[in-house]
Amino acid sequence: MPVKKVKGGYRWGRRGKIYRGRRAKARAARQGRAAYARGYKG
């Protein structure tokens, strides 16, 4: 799932946390990498 720009910041996928502020896009991408590392098949 991609990192998406949403109202208020960036989010990974449809259910991820919305990250705001500096490096928000990078933090959302990090959440995605962690999900795949845990075994997310998406």
Structure tokens at 11: 């989010």
Band (pLDDT 50/70/90 cuts) for residue 1 is confident
Q: Which helix (H) or strand (E) holds 4?
A: strand 3-6
Residue 7, pLDDT score? 95
pLDDT digits (tens, 9 = 90+) for 3-41: 999 999 999 998 889 999 999 999 999 999 999 999 988
Structure tokens at 7: 């109202």
Residue 26, pLDDT score? 97
- Give the Cα separation of 35 and 38 in Å (integer): 5
Q: For the chain, which residues make up each domain, given as ranges?
A: 3-37
- Give the Cα separation of 22 and 11 in Å (integer): 14
- Torsion angles phi and psi, residue 30, rounded to 5: -65, -40
Residue 2, pLDDT score? 92
